[in-house]
Structure 1
Amino acid sequence: MKKLLPTSTAGSLPKPSWLAQPETLWSPWKLEGDELAAGKQDALSLSLQEQQQAGIDIVSDGEQSRQHFVTTFIEHLDGVDFEQRETVRIRDRYDASVPTVKSAVSRQKPVFVEDAKFLRQQTQQPIKWALPGPMTMIDTLYDAHYKSREKLAWEFAKILNQEAKELEAAGVDIIQFDEPAFNVFFDEVNDWGIATLERAIEGLKCETAVHICYGYGIKANTDWKKTLGNEWRQYEEIFPKLQQSNLDIISLECQNSRVPMELLELVRGKKVMVGAIDVATHTIETPEQVADTLRKALQFVDADKLCPCTNCGMAPLPRHVARGKLQALSAGAEIVRRELAG
């Protein structure tokens, strides 16, 4: 008997203060060498415990062992020079200093597989693991080798597929690809973005998800949101093609966002991770607010396909806020579960 409305998080959770600087994106590590390796495992165990105590059904590593959801993966690949940095515009919103692709990219060894095995040993619950999507990876680099966003995306898709297959073998139940870039480059998404993502999931038997959000609650993103008008209809551009794709789950942002709920109709038939927790505010939702978002989503998503989730990662939030938000997510889902059963 599968649980109705299984809850999960979109990805990152705050790190303990002894491991990294709290409430900071790209936060540097406070430990090094063997101590850092052990510290990351401790943080992963702690993160799992916090999810379990909050009643989260599908657990993750909380991204405790990565500094950043994209670059930590890229750091483990050949062909990218982290010393040679260039400033590029990320998601058409803000400038960042990024590493350079110098030669053909390849993956010599697994990146997250040991972490996934470690997490699998500690829980019987379903595990979801997040990887950066090909388009978001190329949007976070300067390419001096391929000189083509599409070519580089196909190369990354092959590499992601290798990693995903090993994560599946390590016992991961859902592999999620983070593609915030899908909300920006609509033509590319439809021309080759979804196709490269399908290459990344080729041959997988576990469930696959794509997470498309409006970003962490950082100033560059909140400023951008103010320019989007009363209705955010970005999803309308890409949902029809995603609905036709081989991906099982679409993860998106709904809480406090101006995304019209009826856009969910465009992915009818897919499982949907509905973001019912706003990550851009320290205000903790009430269970009733979460339930209200889920009820609205249920007009467009069948109950057996709805998975309550957070809008995005919570790494920049204080730990007590993230904890409260996870508890609200669980409690809100439980309210709606009872209504559906009644």
Structure 2
Amino acid sequence: MLTELEREGVQWVQIDEPYLATNVTADEWKLVENLYRRIREQTAGLRIMLQTYFEGVDDFEKITSLSVDGIGLDFVHDGGKTAKALEQSGWPEDKVLGAGLIDGRNIWRADLDAKLEAIRRIAAVVPLERLILQPSCSLLHVPVSTRAESGLDPVVRGALAFAEEKLDELRILRAAVRQGEQAVEAELAASREALNAFRLLPERNREDVASGLRQLADIPDSRNRPFSERFELQRNKWQLPPLPTTTIGSFPQTPEVRQARLKWRRGEWNDAQYEAFMKEQIEACIRLQEEIGIDVLVHGEFERTDMVEYFGEKLDGFVFTRNGWVQSYGSRCVKPPVIYADVAFVQPMTVKESVYAQSLTDRPVKGMLTGPITILNWSFVRDDLSREQVANQIALALRQEVLALEKAGIEMIQVDEPALREGLPLKQEDQDAYLQWAVKAFRLATSGVKDTTQIHTHMCYCEFHDMIDAIRSLDADVISIESSRSHGELISSFEQHDYDHGIGLGVYDIHSPRVPSVEEMSDMIDRALRVLRPELFWINPDCGLKTRGLAETVPALRNMVQAAQAARAQHFQRA
């Protein structure tokens, strides 16, 4: 491929190697050195730009000695390591440096004065003719342009920089370096003014939120009793059958539900009409679950669009863009909320729907919340505080919601953390610290309840075999894990690690419209019960049902309940 490009007259080819910013072993470095030496030998006329990003490269001397013509390094997310290594080791005379100075993963305007100072430090080592100014990574992680965001507060909008604005920042920096700062003084001044106005916003400097963070040491982040004692209290309270069945939370959002929400947002329906429609949907959902025979019910989440956006709209500290779309995976795009200020609880967010659902049935109904780490990791986050501090702000706000649910009589509460692993740092030496504060944030949000109140959580979208200890440390009474597509791998994890809390391994894959048979689900249950204690095992789908249709959801849940009944007969014959 490279030979063909060279033959067609291409001068430069960029090869992305973000893996080199992880913990690269000595053997892997030997492989990389050999590969790029062979590339150089076979395409001597082609210039190779090797790009790394998302972190700093540990072995600076090894990467700078590779047989390439240029190397791109991340000067934003490296903790300052790259600039130090550059000053200590120098830069090879035969290579170009791509200095990733503008944050390609977040949406905030850069402090151009600080960036100019960074360029001066770099230029003291690398001549300008061999220096390229660039984003820290690809700009696919940010929206295209702020031009359409006319609905935002002008001060907030002025602090934003999407892809086009980031390229403009690079243009300004280049002009300041090449022509002198006086050539772009007006633009530099405008940038300073916008940043200063944003930093001084009262909602970014709330004393009540700061006071809450200062008092974290006085707020318990653990339950009153260990799980073994809570388990007995909860079993006596709830009187659930062995291998209880439940779902993850959301039920199919039909075109009628989406249309109703659109009418309400446009003002075509008033609040009373919309609330009446939602009550109809909740009641139908409760009746359906009762008829199918599910043991622990949910209200269906028909009032919610995105699981993070819904809570961001109800908490202080968030704003929402009109066209801030970014690629999530494949052809799927999302529009992340923006955490621009201090996050704080305003009023109950989920109590009304949960209490109404519980009033319709004698079976327990779970309250449903999105956890602090998922809200953090699926938002654009302010960059003047650490992610840990922001996570704790969110956790304290959610703690009030959890207590409000409990006070209203909702004593099974699910706090979902599907994105817990997504925030895991690339470097192994940083991962334990992240997991410690992430677990603490979850526990801050959930630990204030009574021992008989059952805390559930849910995780999906990733593998968990190497973080079982952190999952256990969450101290959730019940965790459900997406496992239908990697069931064997997860089962083997539990063969090596004892798990002594309630757990539900998803028994069927909701991402497919196919309805699995009772026999298939029974096989999944049997495999799990070989390594998990039956009295702790729950039976559930592997994820929420929002994107599915009722035509496949209802028969799949019926089969799941039948599989649970068969497993009870097999494993709890005396009961």
Report 1:136-147 matches (<5 A).
136-144=374-382, 146-147=384-385
2:392 is matched with which residue? 154
2:529 is matched with which residue? 298
Tell me whether 120-129 or 83-92 shows the greater mean CA deviation.
83-92
Unaligned residue ranges in structure 2 (runs of 5+): 1-238, 425-430
Shift of 1:324: 1.2
Q: TM-score, normalised by structure 1?
A: 0.86
Task: Confirm or deny: 8 A CA contact 2:350 2:368 kept in the other structure.
Answer: no
C-alpha offsets along residues 102-127 of structure 1, whole Å, 9 cap, x if unaligned? 22111211101111111111111112
Aligned partner of 2:502 among 227, 248, 271: 271
Separation of aligned partners in 2, 1:310 and 1:341? 22
Task: Confirm or deny: 8 A CA contact 1:12 1:62 kept in the other structure.
Answer: yes
Shift of 1:309: 0.6
* Residues 1:92 and 1:267: Cα distance change in structure 2 (over 3 Å): farther
Report 1:47-126 matches (<5 A).
47-83=285-321, 86=324, 96-126=334-364
3-state SS of paired residue (2:258): coil
Shift of 1:189: 4.9
C-alpha offsets along residues 59-89 of structure 1, whole Å, 9 cap, x if unaligned? 0111122112221111111121124764567
1:260 and 2:260 are equivalent in the alignment: no
1:185 and 2:416 are equivalent in the alignment: no
Aligned partner of 2:405 among 158, 167, 172: 167
Structure with greater contact order relative to length (CA < 8 Å, sep ≥ 6): 1
Separation of aligned partners in 2, 1:329 and 1:119? 22
Shift of 1:332: 0.7
C-alpha offsets along residues 234-264 of structure 1, whole Å, 9 cap, x if unaligned? 2122211222343211210222335431223
Separation of aligned partners in 1, 2:434 and 2:416? 13
Task: Confirm or deny: 8 A CA contact 1:5 1:304 kept in the other structure.
Answer: yes
Task: Confirm or deny: 8 A CA contact 1:274 1:311 kept in the other structure.
Answer: yes
Separation of aligned partners in 2, 1:209 and 1:92? 30
Tell me whether 147-156 or 258-267 shows the greater mean CA deviation.
258-267
Shift of 1:275: 0.7
Task: Confirm or deny: 8 A CA contact 2:464 2:490 kept in the other structure.
Answer: no
Opposite residue 389 of structure 2, the aligned amino acid is: K
Separation of aligned partners in 1, 2:329 and 2:422? 6
Aligned partner of 1:8 among 246, 256, 268: 246
Q: Which has the higher strand share?
A: 1
Tell me whether 144-153 or 265-274 shows the greater mean CA deviation.
144-153
Task: Confirm or deny: 8 A CA contact 1:91 1:184 kept in the other structure.
Answer: no
Task: Confirm or deny: 8 A CA contact 2:472 2:499 kept in the other structure.
Answer: yes
1:200 is matched with which residue? 445
Task: Confirm or deny: 8 A CA contact 1:134 1:196 kept in the other structure.
Answer: yes
Opposite residue 444 of structure 2, the aligned amino acid is: R
Task: Confirm or deny: 8 A CA contact 1:291 1:333 kept in the other structure.
Answer: yes
Separation of aligned partners in 2, 1:297 and 1:202? 28
Tell me whether 104-113 or 182-191 shows the greater mean CA deviation.
182-191
3-state SS of paired residue (1:273): strand
Opposite residue 482 of structure 2, the aligned amino acid is: E
3-state SS of paired residue (2:336): strand
3-state SS of paired residue (2:262): coil
Shift of 1:268: 1.6
Opposite residue 456 of structure 2, the aligned amino acid is: A
Task: Confirm or deny: 8 A CA contact 2:377 2:422 kept in the other structure.
Answer: no
Q: Which has the higher helix share?
A: 2
2:7 is matched with which residue? none
Tell me whether 175-184 or 108-117 shows the greater mean CA deviation.
175-184
3-state SS of paired residue (2:403): helix
Separation of aligned partners in 2, 1:83 and 1:341? 53
Task: Confirm or deny: 8 A CA contact 1:104 1:145 kept in the other structure.
Answer: no
3-state SS of paired residue (2:335): strand
1:244 and 2:473 are equivalent in the alignment: yes
Unaligned residue ranges in structure 1 (runs of 5+): 22-26, 215-231
1:319 is matched with which residue? 550
Tell me whether 95-104 or 175-184 shows the greater mean CA deviation.
95-104
3-state SS of paired residue (1:250): strand
Separation of aligned partners in 1, 2:253 and 2:415? 21
Separation of aligned partners in 2, 1:268 and 1:197? 19
1:280 and 2:511 are equivalent in the alignment: yes
Opposite residue 29 of structure 1, the aligned amino acid is: L
Tell me whether 53-62 or 173-182 shows the greater mean CA deviation.
173-182
C-alpha offsets along residues 157-200 of structure 1, whole Å, 9 cap, x if unaligned? 00111001111122223211211112333326513111110111
1:29 is matched with which residue? 262
* Residues 1:267 and 1:120: Cα distance change in structure 2 (over 3 Å): farther
C-alpha offsets along residues 23-80 of structure 1, whole Å, 9 cap, x if unaligned? xxxx953443222111111111111111111111000111122112221111111121
Task: Confirm or deny: 8 A CA contact 2:240 2:295 kept in the other structure.
Answer: no
Q: Give runs of ≥4 in structure 1 deviating > 6 Å.
A: 91-94
Task: Confirm or deny: 8 A CA contact 2:257 2:302 kept in the other structure.
Answer: no
Q: Percent identity?
A: 24
Shift of 1:281: 0.6
Separation of aligned partners in 2, 1:90 and 1:77? 24
Separation of aligned partners in 2, 1:146 and 1:174? 36
Task: Confirm or deny: 8 A CA contact 1:88 1:142 kept in the other structure.
Answer: no
Opposite residue 112 of structure 1, the aligned amino acid is: T
Separation of aligned partners in 2, 1:147 and 1:86? 22
Separation of aligned partners in 2, 1:132 and 1:140? 11
Tell me whether 322-331 or 187-196 shows the greater mean CA deviation.
187-196
* Residues 1:3 and 1:238: Cα distance change in structure 2 (over 3 Å): same
Tell me whether 89-98 or 65-74 shows the greater mean CA deviation.
89-98
Shift of 1:340: 1.4
Q: TM-score, normalised by structure 2?
A: 0.52
Shift of 1:90: 5.6
Opposite residue 210 of structure 1, the aligned amino acid is: T
